[in-house]
Structures are given as C-alpha cells and as structure tokens.
Amino acid sequence: MTVVSGIQPTGKPHLGNYLGAIVNYVKLQDEAVASGGECFIFLADLHALSMPHVPAELSAATREMVATLVSCGVDPAKTVLFNQAQVPAHAELQWLLNGTARMGWLNRMTQFKDKSGKNREGAAVALFTYPVLQAADVLLYKATHVPVGEDQKQHLELARDIAQKFNNDFCEPDAPLFILPEPFIPPTAARIMSLRDGTAKMSKSDPSDMSRINLVDDADTIMRKIKKAKTDPEPLPSEEAGLEGRAEAKNLVGIYGALTGQSTAEVLAEHGGEGFGAFKPKLGELLVETLAPINARFRELKADREALDAILARGAAQARERGVPTLEAAYRALGLVRG
C-alpha cells in the first residue's frame, strides 16, 4: 500500500479541508504504516503556479498548511511530508510524461475548462498541463491509493492513461515501469458545505467569514457561527429521507456525523425531533472540543518557522530518495543518456 496525495497550499484552512481531506490522510497514514506500506503527502506548490499568485503569500500559505497538517495529526515520523518545489523529480518526470500525454486528453479536462473559463487564450500553460504534473506526482512513487475528492477523479484517470501508454510504448510487456494508480475516495469523506448556503462548498474564497469554520477560530466564534448558520424552521427528521430538499439541515447533520464518526442515519436516530435551538449548541460544542487541541498545536507550530522548514527539508530528502529510481528508469526507458 503506497498512499500519495497532494494538497494545494491555500491560506486559511477550514473545516471543509479538515473533514474532507486531512482526516482521511491521518487514517490512511496509520493504515499504510500498519501494513508495512508508505504514505507521501505533499504541498502542491508547483501546481499553484497555474493560477495568478502572490509569491510572499504562496510561501506563507505553504508553511501554514504544513502547520495545519501536522496539528491535525499527519505525523512526519509516519508520513513523508514535503513540498513539490524541493523535489525536482516531480517537474522532471512531468517533462518526460509530456511526451506521452496527448493534447486531446488534456483538452477534455473539465477543471481546465472551468478555471480558464472565457479566457482560454490568456490562461497559463501550466493550467493546461496541470494534470500531467499531477500524474508525475503519483507515478513517481508508484502510488496504489490516491485519496482525492470527486472533482479529481478525472485527473487520476488521465494519470492511468499516461501510465498505460508509457508502459506500452517504452517498456517490455513483462516489466512495466508505472503502476496504474487508483483514485481512493474514502467512504467517510465528508463534503462540507457553506454555513450560509447548503448548496455551495465551504470555501476560503467565500467573502463571508460566517460561511465557514476556520481551523483557527476560537470557541466563541465557532459557537456564534453555528448559531447563526442558515437552517429551516422544521425540527430534524428521524430518517435520512426527511433531509431531502433541506440542504442546510443536511450539512449540519453531516458535520455532526463526521465529527463523531456516525452515519447520517445514526445521527438522526439520536437527534430526530430536535429543533435547531437544541441541536446547534450540541454541534457547536462538539466542534469546539474537536478543534481546540488542533488550534493550540497550530498556533505553536505556526510561530516556529524553523521547525516547519526542518519538517519540509527532511520530508523532501526522503521523497527525493524514494522518487529518483523511478525517474532514472523513465529517462533510460526513453533512451536519454544519463552519465
């Protein structure tokens, strides 16, 4: 079992990042270690160049996300935790795979279409080739499990296509270089929505701070945001079908279940019939209880830049060591002379 996943170094990590992605990293890290496998989690800072960015903010956000991951339980003693920019093999392998990836394949990527919008001609080339770098990220370490959200499934399929074509074109049939990676959509991955609009994802770019719980919010702020969260006047139903068409109620129940490890049905069996006046304070307290220790560790780590840089340097050294054999084999397979 080799787990590989990347996370964008966005500033202001929130509950959606935690329950949607980070919690699963921690679970998979422990499973990988228990089964004698390995776990690689990296900050996708090279991918950040695909959109306009402010350099000083990128470096700050990269360190902040490392502090977040570690505070949430990603353990640098169990996981190889690093940023792409310190492992040149990612960019090198991407170039090698650019010879295998087809224009037509990339043209079909919905993320490129969404993010370039009407300004296709003005989009960065990096936005177009983004999925090839992502393929390099996972193929370099021969990933078997790639935890991602639904929106990244298409990129993973592309990584499989690239791996397959490279193996076909440049490897002996009995000695393929790349392993075809599987997207791993954790069954427990929670899709956390905005507290103001149950149909929109919780996002750091929502102009209203009331729409999200930031991992740095203090107890009072969390309680206030939950009390003000949009709901409807009905009490909670006792069964899942009763959440149909009630996006905001569904979201709060989903958050509650993600925090306690219960399914929606289990939460409703316990809390069905309660009005939000009763349910919201319980949810708020649960959030405060879960986030307080994370919050404390985060504040301490964030202030210790040396410690953060040391974590990244050590992770990068391990990643380079683990990735280089695959990279060298790719160079050789392509007939490139390497001393």
Between 106 and 247, CB nearer to ligand TRP: 106
Nearest distance from C-beta of residue 161 to ligand TRP, angstroms = 15
Choices 131-139, 189-197, 204-212, 271-279 (CB under 6 A): range interacting with ligand TRP: 131-139
Sheet containing 38-43: order of strands: 80-83, 38-43, 2-7, 145-147, 182-184
List 140, 146, 189, 311, residue binding ligand TRP (CB under 6 A): 146
List 38, 45, 64, 137, residue binding ligand TRP (CB under 6 A): 137
Q: How far is residue 179's CA from residue 157's CA, in Å, rounded to a whole number?
A: 13
Q: How far is residue 339's CA from residue 317's CA, in Å, rounded to a whole number?
A: 22
115 is catalytic: yes
| Number of helices (H), then strands (E), in the chain | 13, 5
Nearest distance from C-beta of residue 148 to ligand TRP, angstroms = 5
Between 156 and 253, CB nearer to ligand TRP: 156
- State the DSSP code for 192: P
148 binds ligand TRP (CB under 6 A): yes
Tokens of 21: 């992605």
8 binds ligand TRP (CB under 6 A): yes
Contacts 24+ apart (CB under 8 A), 221-224: 222/284, 222/287, 222/288, 222/291, 223/281, 223/284, 223/285, 223/288
In degrees and rounded to multiples of 5, residue 45 shows phi and psi of -75, -30
List 94, 134, 167, 194, residue binding ligand TRP (CB under 6 A): 134
Choices 28-36, 70-78, 145-153, 283-291 (CB under 6 A): range interacting with ligand TRP: 145-153
Q: Which residues make Cβ contacts (< 8 Å) with residue 197, sequence separation at least 6?
A: 211, 230, 247, 248
Between 2 and 231, CB nearer to ligand TRP: 2
138 binds ligand TRP (CB under 6 A): yes
Half-sphere exposure of 112 (CA within 13 A, CB side): 22
Alpha carbon of residue 79 to chain centroid: 15
Residues binding ligand TRP: number (CB under 6 A) = 12
List 17, 50, 62, 152, residue binding ligand TRP (CB under 6 A): 152
Choices 3-11, 242-250, 298-306, 329-337 (CB under 6 A): range interacting with ligand TRP: 3-11
DSSP-assigned beta bridge partners for residue 4: 40
The angle, 0 to 180 degrees and rounded to 10, between the axes of the packed helices 276-302 and 247-260 is: 50
List 2, 3, 6, 217, residue binding ligand TRP (CB under 6 A): 6
Tokens of 234: 């009905």
Nearest distance from C-beta of residue 162 to ligand TRP, angstroms = 13
Residues 36-75 close enough to bind ligand TRP by CB under 6 A: 44, 47
Between 267 and 327, CB nearer to ligand TRP: 327
Among candidate residues 12, 27, 201, 230, the one labeled active-site is 201
Q: How far is residue 302's CA from residue 56's CA, in Å, rounded to a whole number?
A: 16
Q: Which residues are catalytic?
A: 115, 201, 204
Positions that interact with ligand TRP (CB under 6 A) = 4-6, 8, 44, 47, 134, 137-138, 146, 148, 152
